[in-house]
């Protein structure tokens, strides 16, 4: 059975990034992302793929983009319907890794969210979508501090209706 998980690092106000770059570069968050997504399909938008600049190793990289992706190591889709049909056939955990439009697109389908919640704000031009926290069970996996800024890595698991 497919499990759909959104994974992101966000500011207090939901900020994700600015000018195509992440707001926060927290080593423990990056390690958590790598370890958690390793071996699983990762789905991203074209801008996110271009900002990363290469396929993420040891993961199936799936990109939704209006612009064609020519890298043979990328599974590329140009429309949401084809992507959703493909994902519905997966029998593993699938990670949505950005950007904001993909998070918004898949929020209602998400079984789980992994959010590194940073106790700070920076100017942002992209934001994680708001969601009804009462529909999820919250578990704090880790707390920490990086460059004087506190954060916590949180797992939100969708409650059964």
> Residue 35 is part of a domain; what is its CATH number?
3.40.430.10
Q: What range defines the domain where residue 98 resides?
A: 3-158
* pLDDT recorded at residue 161: 79
Identify the burial level of 156 via C-beta atoms within 10 angstroms of its C-beta, where 0-12 means exposed, 13-18 middle and 19 or more buried.
Answer: buried
Give mean pLDDT, residues 88-104.
96
Residue 2's pLDDT band (cuts 50, 70, 90) = confident
* pLDDT recorded at residue 70: 85
How many structural domains compose the chain?
Answer: 1
* pLDDT recorded at residue 135: 95
pLDDT greater than 80 at residue 1: no
**Distances, alpha carbon 23 to alpha carbons 91, 145, 148, in Å:** 33, 15, 15
Alpha carbon distance 146, 26 (integer Å): 6
* pLDDT recorded at residue 68: 81
pLDDT (tens digit per residue) in 40-85 = 999 999 999 999 999 999 999 999 999 888 888 999 999 999 999 9
Best CA proximity match to 2, nearest among 110, 76, 81: 110
CB 125 within 8 A of CB 20: no
pLDDT greater than 90 at residue 24: yes
* pLDDT recorded at residue 91: 94
């Amino acid at each position: 059975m497919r499990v759909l998980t959104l994974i992101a690092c966000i500011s207090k106000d939901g900020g994700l990034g600015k000018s195509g770059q992440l707001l926060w570069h927290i080593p423990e968050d990056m390690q958590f992302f790598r370890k958690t997504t390793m071996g699983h399909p990762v789905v991203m938008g074209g801008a996110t793929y271009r900002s990363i600049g290469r396929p993420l190793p040891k993961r199936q990289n799936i990109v939704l983009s209006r612009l064609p992706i020519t890298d043979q190591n990328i599974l590329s889709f140009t429309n949401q319907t084809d992507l959703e049909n493909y994902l519905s056939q997966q029998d593993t955990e699938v990670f949505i890794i950005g950007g904001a439009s993909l998070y918004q697109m898949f929020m209602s389908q998400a079984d789980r969210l992994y959010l590194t919640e940073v106790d700070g704000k920076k100017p942002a031009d992209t934001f994680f979508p708001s969601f009804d926290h009462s529909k999820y069970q919250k578990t704090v996996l880790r707390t920490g501090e990086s460059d004087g800024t506190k954060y916590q890595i949180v797992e939100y698991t969708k409650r059964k209706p």
